[in-house]
Amino acid sequence: MMASAGHSDRRRPSRRQLLLGGAAAGAGAAVTLGAERAGALPGSTPAPTADSAGLNGERTVPFHGPHQAGVTARPGAHATYLAFDLLPDTDRERLRAWLSLLTDDAARVTQGRGALADLEPELAVRPAGLTVTFGLGREAVLRAGAEPPDWLGPLPAFTIDRLEDRWSGGDAMVLLHGDDPTAISHLARMLARDSRSFATVRWRQDGFRRAYGSDPSGTTMRNLFGQVDGSSNLGPEDDAFGATVWAGTEAPGWLRGGTSLVLRRIAMNLEGWDEVGVEGREAAVGRRIADGAPLTGGTERDPLDLEAKGPGGFTVINPAAHAARARVEDPAQGIVRLGYSYDVPVEPGALDARGRPAVSNVGLLFGSWQRDVARQYVPMQRRLAEADLLNTWTTPIGSAVFAIPPGCEQGGFIGETLFA
């Protein structure tokens, strides 16, 4: 691998130089910022200045380590998923070169330095928690001459699916998440540019959560239905996280310490949802809208009581409620969710379910980490497809599965275990 420390040098090394490590470049430009100006206006609530808390823009998540950083980092406010199709001549050696090049871009830019041959290193100086996670589809693993796990490929068909090719599949994937949209835009472009000789972009999906500074830290996100979404999710600080997420001895050797990502694009019918009152919404989910607590009481993190009966003799939580259907007894048999809302302009002429001009095109980028897609994701998704009251207002329109290799140390690259 090339040296990763470098001085500012805007000459553009050739790809050959880059791949062979012959370039002395690396644009870690020190950028002098302009003078500050007063921003508060008369009559406005004073803006809490980011300065007083330390700048979130300067926050970095280490790139190197045993696991890829994007799996364990706090999800940033913005996410961009880019999927690629490999070019026909991207063979084992070219695949290795591509993964090396993108790893180098990611290792630099997530730490606030420009990519090699980055002509806008100014856009990289404040990464705001930017992370990159690389994923591989079945085709990429086969081209590397390695053994794909059984589950690596399209999910089994579910009756609720209305999948569109433009949001599905892919030979490889990168997920960028962080708190700053400019930093993400810049790195996504660097990665797409440096992929040109190896792969074409198959699709891109962008999502958002509440901005940095909007909610107290640790608040569970709300999706665009207004639901608290992900209350029972495990975090890296939880004991069961590792057993749920990290591939172990059951996986091909190259994947150990890695995981898998399922990404589902789920369209949400907000016009229909608006016709349902709060009681109906809470019944569909099994949780209170106001605070995400189970309908059987307590607070957001308390377990559901699926046995508790109401005055009419029925269970308080409908057995077909989303939270009831998604639940697993053993957390390690579950998944770790990574949810982002999407909201993209309505296509011209699009109609809603009633034939009126559509007003919104919104949904959820439902990502999930699990060590084994077949044993963890698929059984849960089967239960949801069979019966989940929420299905009335949600439709999966995209689906993709990727193996997430383990992390790498300085001097290595993500995916190196495929070539060992």
The verdict on 303 binding a second copy (CB under 8 A) reads no
**Are the beta carbons of 267 and 388 closer than 8 angstroms?**
no
User: Between 165 and 330, whose beta carbon lies closer to a second copy?
Assistant: 165
Smallest distance, Å, CB 385 to a second copy?
A: 26
Q: Which residues are CB-neighbours of 365 under 8 A, at least 6 positions away?
A: 79, 81, 205, 207, 263, 264, 265, 266, 339, 340, 341, 342
229 catalytic per annotation: yes
Q: Tell me the C-alpha distance between 341 and 365, whole Å.
A: 6
Q: Which stretch binds a second copy (CB under 8 A): 100-108, 206-214, 255-263, 372-380?
A: 206-214
Angle between helices 92-109 and 181-193 (to 10 degrees): 160
Catalytic residue among 118, 171, 179, 229: 229
Taken in order 358, 362, 363, 367, the sign of the CA dihedral is positive
List 15, 94, 142, 181, residue binding a second copy (CB under 8 A): 181
The verdict on 256 binding a second copy (CB under 8 A) reads no
List 13, 57, 169, 407, residue binding a second copy (CB under 8 A): 57
User: Between 142 and 192, whose beta carbon lies closer to a second copy?
Assistant: 192
List 17, 185, 333, 395, residue binding a second copy (CB under 8 A): 185
Q: Which residues are CB-neighbours of 119 under 8 A, at least 6 positions away?
A: 10, 12, 27
Smallest distance, Å, CB 34 to a second copy?
A: 4
List 51, 89, 239, 330, residue binding a second copy (CB under 8 A): 51
Q: Which residues are CB-neighbours of 16 under 8 A, at least 6 positions away?
A: 22
Among residues 1, 370, 381, 406, the alpha carbon closest in space to that of 152 is found at 370
User: Between 57 and 334, whose beta carbon lies closer to a second copy?
Assistant: 57
Smallest distance, Å, CB 28 to a second copy?
A: 13
Taken in order 378, 379, 382, 387, the sign of the CA dihedral is negative
Q: What are the DSSP E strand ranges found in 225-346?
A: 259-268, 336-343
Task: Name the DSSP letter for residue 9.
Answer: -
Site for a second copy in 326-365 (CB under 8 A): 341, 343, 345-346, 348, 356-357, 359-360, 362
Site for a second copy in 121-180 (CB under 8 A): 121-123, 126, 128-129, 166, 179-180
The verdict on 55 binding a second copy (CB under 8 A) reads yes
Smallest distance, Å, CB 393 to a second copy?
A: 12
Q: Residues binding a second copy: what is the number (CB under 8 A)?
A: 113
Residue 225's Cβ-count burial label (10 Å; 0-12, 13-18, 19+) is buried
Q: Cβ atoms within 10 A of the Cβ of 278, count?
A: 11
User: Between 227 and 315, whose beta carbon lies closer to a second copy?
Assistant: 227
Residue appearing with tokens 């608290």: 228
The verdict on 206 binding a second copy (CB under 8 A) reads yes
The verdict on 204 binding a second copy (CB under 8 A) reads yes
Site for a second copy in 234-253 (CB under 8 A): 235-237
List 13, 28, 59, 371, residue binding a second copy (CB under 8 A): 59
Smallest distance, Å, CB 398 to a second copy?
A: 13
Residue 299's alpha-carbon distances to 64, 180, 235, 321, in angstroms, are 37, 31, 18, 18
List 28, 78, 135, 176, residue binding a second copy (CB under 8 A): 78
The verdict on 35 binding a second copy (CB under 8 A) reads yes
